[in-house]
Structure 1
Amino acid sequence: MLRGFYTATSGMMAQQRKQEILSNNITNAQTPGYKQDQAPLRSFPELLIHKVENHDIPTRSGFKPRTMTELGAINTGVYVNEAIPDFAQGALRETGMTTDMAIEQVDAPDENGSVFFAVQNGDGEERYTRNGNFTVDGDGLLTTNHGFYVLDADGNPIQTDGQEFDVTTEGVVELDGEAIPLALSYSAEPGQLTKNGQDLLELAEDADELADARAVDGLQISVQQRFLERSNVDAGQTMTSMMEAYRSFEANQKVVQAYDRSLDKAVNDIARLG
């Protein structure tokens, strides 16, 4: 009985975690370049169930040996191991702002490969983002909407001295006859990147360094100025998934309540009769 109690409880906890992830996706449905998180459920290690039986052997002593018959495996519950970002390309929308940029990925040598803008966070470390909703700070430097410096191909902040500049489809900022290539980083396995807050992504500790997108054979991208990439959140599908998670939570809750009533009866009624 207790095994079933714990199994149903783990189901409630997993659905609660899934609901939190889906709610965060809905919250960021209008965030440029946001990549929705997926919440796959995984099962706990299986237990192998056996049946113990007695077999009669026609002997004078009436020997009855015990044997074990394998019945099969059973899972002891589920859990959400981690939120996995979906790096699928979002649709582009025109804004008319010169500081807005979007990466349109036309073709890539790897099916799941993805390109990112390189930026510098508050600690001076390199991070990555798909949110091209940039602006210019008081010092004339190109920054993200959170104030992080957008980097050029040499890893330096980009000085624009205002919002009057052009960006080519190759990702080169043209300003007063000067050409400054944006730092565009490519990852063949973007799943190695983890969300770091404020629309930033960082590499896992054991992940390979990102490559210069311009040096990757077979990669075709186009940087669109005055455009932003929409989030890839499907609001309708996400709302449906939230309702499914809520109903699954309720179903597991009813199982827990049923086990609770059974335990209450066993402790208070059956024990009293004994």
Structure 2
Amino acid sequence: MDRMIYLAMNGAKHVEWQQATTSHNLANANTNGYKADQVSFRALPVKGEGSPTRTYVVDNTVGHDMSQGSLLQTGSPNDFALGTPGFFAVQGPDGQEAYSRDGGFALDETGMMRTKSGLPLIGDGGPITVPAGSKPEIGQDGTVMATPQSGQDRTPQIVGQLKLVNPAVRDVYKGEDGLFRLNGGGTAQADQGVKLVAGALEGSNVNAVDSLVQMISHARQFDLNIKLMQTADQNARSATQVLAMTA
């Protein structure tokens, strides 16, 4: 009986973890560039005498849904989306190179291009800075052009190129900050096959309806495990009463 209670308790705990992941996905259904976390259950055998037919149910993160989110046309020259698989490079909070699909930028007081969350956009030679008084534009290949808005010379100048990469899905992981990084550290090589779409943003790829259905399923699984624990406890109490009567 004790073993059944422990197995059911373990199952309830891991269902609760999956519910937390699903809730996190649903909370980011409107977060630009968000990629849904994917989880599944896996079975682990219980070791010990009389236990070869029993298994633990363990929550296992299997990766992320890297499918393309819907492209939202904004018409803003400061917005861009990735129209192909891949990422653009940013400087993470730890100062190291990281990767994102949440496009769009703003210029800080020094002219440095930053994401809307404040992270510097990385080019081939580091962060990209636009000269004062110039209007930046980003080409399909990530080339950043700056056009002076005053003076006689209004010739656009190339000031940098966004680093666009496309590592294999199995080679990257998503951190708690929502940024992707290479497994084992290091930086990815630029990939000319990654293309941008100007004046657009990529929406989240979370399916809100599927997430709600998953939450209902998780809740039912959690209730089932709780009932198993209650049944095991009741059976143990009944067995104890029978033994006490025959003693």
TM-score range, shorter chain: 0.7 to 0.9
Q: Deviation digits for residues 176-229 of structure 1, max 9, x if unmatched? A: 2222211111102x2332222333122222x67422111xxxx4x420111001
Q: TM-score, normalised by structure 2?
A: 0.87
Instruction: After TM superposition, give the deviation of residue 73 of structure 1 in Å.
Output: 5.3
Match of 1:253 among 209, 212, 226: 226
Give TM-score, length-normalised by structure 1: 0.79
Compare CA radii of gyration and give the structure with the larger one: 1
**Aligned residues of 2:70 and 2:203 also touching (Cα < 8 A):** yes
**Structure 1: 5+ residue runs without aligned partners?**
51-71, 106-113
Q: Measure how far apart 1:12 and its partner are.
A: 0.6
* Structure 1 residue 162: Cα displacement: 7.0
Tell me the residue number matched to 1:116. Answer: 87
Task: Report if the CA contact (8 A) 1:96-1:226 is conserved.
Answer: yes
What's the CA shift string for 1:43-93, capped at 9, x where partnerless?
11366998xxxxxxxxxxxxxxxxxxxxx9524221113362111111101
Cα distance change of structure 1 residues 99 and 8 upon mapping to structure 2, 3 Å threshold: same
Aligned to 1:266, what secondary structure does the other structure show?
Answer: helix
Aligned to 2:166: 186
- For 1:270, the equivalent position in structure 2 comes to 242
- Tell me by how many angstroms 1:134 deviates: 2.3
Whichever residue aligns with residue 103 of structure 1, its letter is: L
Give the total of aligned pairs.
237
Judged with a 3 Å threshold, the aligned counterparts in structure 2 of structure 1 residues 161 and 241 are, in CA distance, closer, same or farther, namely farther
Q: After the TM superposition, which residues 220-231 of structure 1 pair with which residues of structure 2 at under 5 Å, given as runs? A: 221-231=194-204
- What is the match of residue 150 of structure 2? none
Q: What is the RMSD of the two structures over their aligned residues, measured on CA atoms?
A: 2.3
User: Bigger CA drift: 137-146 or 24-33?
Assistant: 137-146
CA distance in 1, matches of 2:222, 2:216: 10
Query: Which residue of 227, 240, 244 maps to 2:217?
Result: 244
Following TM superposition, by how much is the alpha carbon of 1:121 offset from its aligned partner in structure 2, in angstroms? 1.8
Counterpart of 2:162 in structure 1: which amino acid? L
Shift of 1:272: 2.4
| Residues 4-153 of structure 1: pairs in structure 2 closer than 5 A | 4-45=4-45, 74-82=53-61, 84-105=63-84, 114-153=85-124
